[in-house]
Structure 1
Amino acid sequence: MSKKLEGNGRWESSRMMLPQHKEALIARQNPEPEVKQVQKPTEEEHEMILNSILLPMMLTMIERNGKEFEVSTNMLRRYYIAATQILMNRIHAEMVKNKNELKARKIRVFEDIRPDEDLHYKYLCRGYEYPFSVMRDVVKSRISIKLGEYVKTLLHQMRE
């Protein structure tokens, strides 16, 4: 018997291959990268991204005002400082909650520094990078609205 016919030599000597088998072999040797479906952020996720930008700014503003009350001679300064601490605790708790939710949804936010009046950020959402810009006037108004909501809930809880 010849060496080609020993063991699996009989099959090795065959030169015939079906086209389907050839395509399957080539596909296995050179796998094509899978095309990912781009899942853009939802409106709720955009709001969470905006909150991840606004909440630290609010916390800094309230902390600065609290320090101003500490050195003031106002009769009600003790109450202002207590209210400031309560607001700071609430904002911090919401920041942590928002950060954890963004992490669970695989979204990360980065500051992008540009020399103009707007605030520029980039965020990675499920592997894709998007730009995000906010005008300073919008930031001021949104912070004012959110701060009003915090104070409103604080006063509502004090009445109960």
Structure 2
Amino acid sequence: MSKLDGNERWKSKMLLTEHQEQYEQRHAHTAKVPPSRPTEAELIMIRDYILLPYMLSMVEKSLDDIEHRANLLKPLYLMAGKVVRSKISEDLYLLRRELAKRNIRVFRDEQEDLIVYHRFICRGYEDRLGLVRDVVRSEISVRLSRYLKEIASRLASGE
């Protein structure tokens, strides 16, 4: 929707008739497209979009705990934690861009018992995705171990 939509003053002064017809045809075509359900890959992206902020807050809390404790390997733990934090932030940024490009929006909805629901809108199709807390914990654990393995392989190879 442009800034001039709904403003009748500009309707005839700015557009030639043929341009106005093209504009109306383009909008009539997009209005007729039915909402499309998200693909499996898009549902995984939505799930990751929900999980990554939880992971980021867990890593932040862990970094705060490490900061306030005395440990011989404290600098190493802090460096590894900061690398994980930056990798999670980068993944979240890329995921946000991809979801925006695919016209998918995600909203936190509600929490009932042990299930956290998020509402999403995918190209006009609206639905809810519920994640069980235990599944969220296990998925976060798997993801964090994947990030840590990546760091360990970097350290082992000498990068």
Residue 48 (structure 1) aligns with: 45
Report how far residue 71 of structure 1 moved.
0.7
Whole-angstrom CA distance in 2 between matches of 1:130 and 1:45: 13
Q: How many residues align?
A: 128
Deviation at 1:116, TM superposition (A): 2.1
CA distance in 2: counterparts of 1:104 and 1:97, whole angstroms: 11
* Structure 2 counterpart of 1:19: none
Larger radius of gyration: 1
> 1:75 corresponds to which letter in structure 2?
L
Q: Identify the residue that residue 96 of structure 2 maps to in structure 1.
A: 99
Equivalent in the alignment of 1:73: 70
Gaps of 5+ in 1: 1-30
* Superposed displacement of residue 35, structure 1: 4.8
1:156 Cα deviation (Å)? 1.1
1:57-97 per-residue CA deviation (whole Å, 9 max, x = no partner) reads 00000110100000101111111111100000000000000
SS of 2:149 mapped into structure 1: helix
TM-score using structure 1 length: 0.76
- Structure 1 pair 114–151 and aligned structure 2 pair: CA distance change class (3 A): closer
1:132 is matched with 129
1:134 and 1:70, CA in 2 relative to 1: closer, same or farther beyond 3 A?
A: same
- Say yes or no: does 1:112 pair with 2:109: yes
State the identity %: 34
Once residues 159 and 149 of structure 1 are traced to their aligned partners in structure 2, the CA distance between those partners, rounded to angstroms, is 15
| Cα distance in structure 1, aligned partners of 2:136 and 2:92 | 16
Q: Any unmatched runs of 5+ in structure 2? A: 1-27
Question: Aligned equivalents of 1:153 and 1:62: distance in 2?
Answer: 16
Contact 2:115 2:131 in 1 (8 A): yes
Structure 1: distance between partners of 2:150 and 2:71: 25
